[in-house]
Amino acid sequence: MTKALSPKFKGKGADPKKAPSPTIDLEQYAPAYLTWIANKLSGGASNAYLRAFDVGIETWRILVLLAIEDELTAQAVSKTIGMDKASVSRALKNMQADGLVTFGLDNNDGRLRLATITEKGRALHNQILELARERERVFLSVLAKHERESLLDLLRRLHDNLPSVEKATAEFLEQRYPQAVTRRPRG
């Protein structure tokens, strides 16, 4: 496969007389690769955006959505990009203070606050976009055009399958760990 995990992870100090306990083969565990890639891409982008534009990855992600949509609620942003709503709200508040977004009330539901990108926000989006596209170009440069198309198709299918994963997780927990169903997660 790849040399991503060189040297291979092996248990240190394992007693050869004992049967090995079950482990995940990280070379074959897709969630590990997805997590590692996402974390490294996100960390590198955040570092670059902070140095060049004085904004982090959260601001960039929100700018991307607001550049596409006219206006969005914090909840819509949260649902789309998978950030928790409190983090999105904090980021939007900071973006408002920096003049990147404004807020208004939804005409159909006066309780909903809608964020809208400002001219300053759009200009920043356009500057970062050049760097983001260059990072994507280099990242995907090891793939042929048909491989890039296949990769995007596969990623979309995996993304669309996430509700099934969450449903299966809930069913597994209910069957094997019923106490987990009523327990509130920490943190």
Structural domain contains residue 75: yes
Domain identity same for 84 and 165: no
| Distances, alpha carbon 56 to alpha carbons 9, 42, 48, 120, 152, in Å | 33, 10, 9, 16, 25
Q: Kindly state whether residues 126 and 150 are assigned to the same domain.
A: no
- Is residue 110 domain-shared with residue 167, that is, in the same domain? no
Express each pLDDT in 95-110 by its tens digit: 999 999 999 987 777 7
Kindly report, residue by residue over 18-35, the tens digit of the pLDDT: 778 899 999 999 999 999
- For 147-167, what is the mean pLDDT? 97
| pLDDT of 10 over the 60 cut | no
Cα–Cα nearest to 61, from 82, 44, 33: 82
Query: pTM here?
Result: 0.80
Q: Which amino acid is at 55?
A: V
Is 122 part of any domain? yes
Containing structural domain, residue 160: 143-179
* Count of the separate structural domains present in the chain: 2
Q: Give me the mean pLDDT over the 117-121 stretch.
A: 97
**118 shares a domain with 75:** yes
* Residue 114 three-state SS: strand
How many helices (H) and strands (E) the chain has is answered by 8, 2
Distance CA 65, CA 74 (A): 11
Looking at the structure, tell me whether residues 132 and 168 fall in a common domain. Answer: no
- Looking at the fold, whether 56 and 83 belong to one and the same domain comes out as yes
Give the C-alpha separation, 155 to 175, whole Å. Answer: 30
| Beta strands 101-105; 113-117: pairing state | antiparallel
Residue 120 lies in a domain: yes
CA contacts within 13 A on the Cβ side of 115? 31
**CB under 8 Å, gap of 24 or more: what pairs does 125-132 form?**
125/60, 125/63, 125/64, 125/66, 125/67, 127/53, 128/49, 128/52, 128/53, 128/55, 128/60, 128/63, 131/48, 131/49, 131/52, 132/45, 132/60
Q: Is 9 a residue whose pLDDT tops 70?
A: no
The answer to whether residues 148 and 124 belong to one domain is: no
Q: What percent of the chain has pLDDT over 70?
A: 90
pLDDT of residue 156: 97
Same domain? For 60 and 129 the reply is yes
In a shared domain, residues 175 and 148: yes
Residue type, 84: D
Residue with tokens 């670059």: 48
For the residues 80-92, what does the mean pLDDT come to?
Answer: 93
